[in-house]
Every structure is written in C-alpha cells, then in structure tokens.
Chains A and B, each alone.
Chain A
C-alpha cells in the first residue's frame, strides 16, 4: 500500500489521476499534463512535494560534518536561510543522491532529499555521523511531519502573497536560493521547473487549508508529469534516471556543484573524482525528425555511441528533447542519430538547458 501525503484528499478533490511514485500515491496530472506545464511557464502552478524528505541537522559539528558529507561546500553559506544544491557521493565518486541544504546557523541546517532515496540516504548519513556531535531528525513522518508545496511560475510569488498577504513582508526580498521563516513555515525561493517561485515547508496539519487558499488565489494544481517535462526543459537532472551511484557529478553535468577550492577539505568521494576519468559528458538533444525521444535510447555519433538518460516531448518547444551522456568531444551544434525502435532519427546536440523563465534558449 503506497504512502499518502497530507494533501492526498486535496488531490482527489481536484480530480487528480494518482500513480505510485517511489512508494507514494501521487498525482500524475489533474486532466492535462501539457496544460499544467504551460500554466507553470506562463502563470502559476503548484506541486505537492511532501513525498520528498526534509531532515533537520542540529549540533556543534553540523558544519564540519556537512563539509565532509557533501561535494559542494556549505562553508560558503553565510547568510541565514541561504540554500545550496549538492551531490552526496560515495567513496567512488558516484552520486548517492542530490539534495538541497539550507543554512540557518553553523549548528543548524535543513536538508531536503529525494523521496525514493530517503531511507538509503538517512542510513548513509547516520553511518557518517560517527565521531561528530550532531543529530539528524527526519520530518516526513510522525507528529512533527512537514508538508511541502512548490508554487512555480512567473506569477507564483504574487499569487502566493494574494493567498497569504501577511507573508509578503518576510519573503518579498528573498533572493534566489534564499529562504525565510514565516509563522513556522520555511519559504524558499527555489524550485525544479526553471521558473521563479517558492517551495514552502509547513506543518502537515496546515497543508490542506494552505493548498485551498493557493487554489483560490488562482494557482493551478500540477502533477508529477508536468514536473518532469518542466525540469527536463530546464535541464535539471532527475536522480535515478540521469544519475545514480555509478555516475559521478562530472558525468552528469554537475561539475559546478563540486567545490574543490579548499584543498584542506576532504569530502567523501573527492579522491575518486580527482583520479577517475569521466567516461562521457552530459549534453542535451533536440530531435530534428518527428518522433519522441525517451530514456535509454542509443545515440550514434562519429566518436562512438552514447545514451539518452531522459527524454520527452517538450510542450514549450513543441519538439522532442532529451538529456544524454555522449562521448567526450561531441560539441553542441553536432548532428547525431538516435535509434528509436527500428529507425535512426536525426538530433542536434545542444547545451542541456532548453527553457528558462518562460523563454526558449535554443
């Protein structure tokens, strides 16, 4: 029996089609995935992301531990509420998960990890806590459980303030990747769509009422289907699909998240990243022929074969796009073939970022 988020009744009331996602009963769409996609690009949409797992980290060694645990460096977080995206690596440099960490004080952080990997992540993190004075508490279940709602789109913040006028003062000045606490909620200017907006973590008991107010403010409920095409257009990796424990951040287009500046910092996986030669590189594909790219299709290039890791129809470009791992040396602008069923279709290699803030980048 899949688990349900606090917003399960709200989804049913909104006519959602529910599917099992990583053991959670989640909305895939509420009628039309494409219309939900456009709502986020053009106006405002909201997603229930309560299946993701929030963790609180408290203790004297919190900062020292995170600097060991994560490939990105939390030492660069100075302003309370500032967030950082990072991979958590194993000793071989493979990605255990990608996550967001919010800084409050050097002894107090919030970490948000993926739904399907949460148990594995927590087990790994607890094992790494030995010798550190810090405590990790999950906030997904039990009396202190949080719900999380992502409101995304060019009008998302304005509509959020329409729903919650009192929150405006505390959240209006938030920069990108910056969070603030308001009435016990954590409101963060982050997301997974390539659009502006907030991700809000709030007590589970308040979620249903909050969702209704956001609905009343004209924010359209959006399912995991639209979430996937939005993140794909934005060129954002999906854990388990575009990367996993066999793949390093360098092979997943995430070199920018690996912080090597402090030579004295020894994070888990660092030595492997220094010695391990990337086998391939992360690029985008734009299908020139008619058809739809999907994950795990073979890409034929003059320098060898590669593979798509995610692919779909892009509602914003009205054309199919994919993320792919290609041989080193295949540059944006090259034309390659993709094997789809028994055919070879032409695709152009592009930078793996297709649409941002409502605007096609190609």
Chain B
C-alpha cells in the first residue's frame, strides 16, 4: 500500500499535508480508495465553512458505499477540489494527487498540535 512519507495520516484514512503558505491539504489515502472501490461522487465542504478537527465535512461515494470524511485539522475551508468533483475516478487513479479540500488553520500552534497528533507514514501503514 502506498503511504508517502511526507504526509500525516488520520486513523479514519485521511491524509494531510502542511503547505508552505500555512494551509493544510486533505485527501483520502490509497488504502481508503482501494477499500471503497470505484468512486463515483464527491460531496465537498463549501468554501468559507469553519470546521473543527474530527468534524465530518465531506462524503466520498463509491458504487459500493458512502464514506464520511473528517477534517484532521481545525480552520476554514479555503478551497475544494472541483477537478476531483468533476472526475471522481481521479481519486482511484491517484489518491494523493486528487486532494479533496484545503483548510486555513485558525491558529498555527493549534494546527501544529493537531498535525502532531496524526500518524506518520509507517505508523499508519502498520494499522492497515
């Protein structure tokens, strides 16, 4: 299973990447897309929505099932990936390229704590 070393992982199978501008990009892991099977629909949070870490804020639907996606960090949604909405199968093709949404953290130190609470690649891979 593909788990890039530069990402942080939630036990609920989201990945998070801290960008240079301080925002956090979020997607689902390769394991999650594999388990879901053919993905056919994404429901992403509205830009401007404020979410807390652990809050349910997106839905990924495959032919088989619907799966809730939780934000691993707190903050404001600043972007949702419309290209992924238009081509949900891109998440199956590359779950790390087809990100879902981007969060601008409310406070950098809180964000650092939240990211610090996530799993590293090896620790996440060990849970699979």
* Chain B residue at minimal CB-CB distance from A318: B40
Beta-carbon nearest neighbor of A37 in chain B: B63
Q: Report yes or no: A341 in contact with B64, Cβ–Cβ below 8 A.
A: no
The answer to whether B59 touches A33, judged by C-beta atoms less than 8 angstroms apart, is no
Does A108 belong to the interface (CB within 8 Å)?
A: no
Interface residues of A, dominant DSSP: mixed
Determine the chain A residues whose CB is within 8 A of the CB of B38 once the complex forms.
Answer: 32-34
Q: B37 near A313 (CB under 8 angstroms)?
A: no
> Quick check: is A191 within 8 A (CB to CB) of the other chain?
no
Residues of A within 8 A of B43 (CB): 291
- Is residue A120 within 8 Å, beta carbon to beta carbon, of the partner chain? no
Name the prevailing secondary structure of the B interface residues.
strand
Cβ of B124 < 8 Å from any Cβ of A?
no
B66: Cβ under 8 A from any A Cβ: yes
Residue of B nearest to A29 (CB): B37
With A29-B37, A33-B37, A225-B37 as contacts: A341 and B59 at CB distance below 8 Å: yes
- Chain B residues positioned under 8 Å from A290 (CB to CB): 41
A315 within 8 A of B: yes
Give A34 to B63 CA distance when docked, in angstroms. Answer: 8
Task: Determine whether the beta carbon of B66 is less than 8 Å from that of A313.
Answer: no
Q: Is B61 part of the contact surface with A, judged by Cβ < 8 Å? A: yes
Most A CB within 10 A of own CB, among B37, B38, B59: B38
Is A292 interfacial (CB-CB < 8 Å)? yes
B37-58 at interface with A (beta carbon < 8 Å): 37-38, 40-41, 43
Question: CA A28 – CA B40 in complex, angstroms?
Answer: 17
Q: Are the CB atoms of A292 and B37 closer together than 8 Å? A: no
Asked if A312 and B41 sit within 8 Å, CB to CB, the answer is no
Q: For chain A, which range describes its interface: under 10, 10 to 19, 20 to 34, or 35 or more residues?
A: 10 to 19
Separation of A341 and B38 alpha carbons in the complex (Å): 21
Nearest CB of B to A178, in Å: 33
A292 to B63, CA, bound (A): 8
Restricting to A32-65, which residues have a CB under 8 Å from any CB of B?
A: 32-34
| Chain A min CB distance to B117 (Å) | 27
For the complex, is A348 an interface residue (Cβ under 8 Å from B)? no
Is residue A229 within 8 Å, beta carbon to beta carbon, of the partner chain?
yes
User: Is A356 among interface residues, defined by CB-CB distance under 8 A?
Assistant: no
B89 smallest CB distance to A (angstroms): 8
A225–B64 touching, CB < 8 Å: yes
Report the bound CA distance from A294 to B37 in whole Å.
16
CB-based nearest B residue for A313: B40
Interchain CB contact under 8 A, A315 and B41:
no
0 or 1 for each of A261-302: is its CB under 8 Å from B? (1 = yes): 000000000000000000000000000001110100000000
Q: For the complex, what is the distance from the CA of A33 to the CA of B62, rounded to whole Å?
A: 10
Nearest A residue to B88 via CB reads A313
Shortest beta-carbon distance from A261 to chain B in Å: 41
Judge whether B61 and A229 touch: CB under 8 Å. no
Q: Are A313 and B61 closer than 8 Å at their CB atoms?
A: yes
**Separation of A246 and B99 alpha carbons in the complex (Å):** 45
Q: Kindly identify which residue among A33, A291, A320 contacts B64, using a CB–CB cutoff of 8 Å.
A: A33
Are the C-beta atoms of B66 and A315 separated by less than 8 Å?
Answer: no
**A33-B37, A290-B41, A292-B40 known; A312+B63 contact, CB < 8 A:** yes
Per-residue interface assignment for chain B, residues 57 to 88, with 1 indicating a CB less than 8 Å from any chain A CB and 0 otherwise: 00101011010000000000000000000000
A315 to B41, CA, bound (A): 12
What distance in Å separates the Cβ of B74 from its nearest Cβ neighbour in chain A? 21
The residue in B40, B41, B63 that gathers the most chain A C-beta atoms within 10 A of its C-beta is B63
| Chain B residues whose C-beta falls within 8 Å of the C-beta of A341 in the assembled complex | 59
A313 and B64 alpha carbons, distance in the complex (Å): 8
Are A291 and B61 in contact, CB atoms less than 8 angstroms apart? yes
Which residue from A32, A229, A292 sits with its C-beta under 8 Å from B66? A292
Complex interface residues of chain B between 3 and 43 (CB less than 8 A to chain A):
37-38, 40-41, 43
Q: Which residues of B contact A32 (CB under 8 A)?
A: 37-38
Complex-state Cα separation, A141 to B63, whole angstroms:
33
- Which A residues are in CB contact (< 8 Å) with B37? 28-29, 32-33, 225
30 CB < 8 A contacts A-B: A28-B37, A28-B64, A29-B37, A32-B37, A32-B38, A33-B37, A33-B38, A33-B64, A34-B38, A34-B63, A225-B37, A225-B63, A225-B64, A290-B41, A291-B41, A291-B43, A291-B61, A292-B40, A292-B41, A292-B61, A292-B66, A294-B66, A312-B63, A313-B40, A313-B41, A313-B61, A313-B63, A315-B63, A320-B41, A341-B59
Instruction: Give A contacts to B, CB under 8 Å.
Output: 28-29, 32-34, 225, 229, 290-292, 294, 312-313, 315, 320, 341
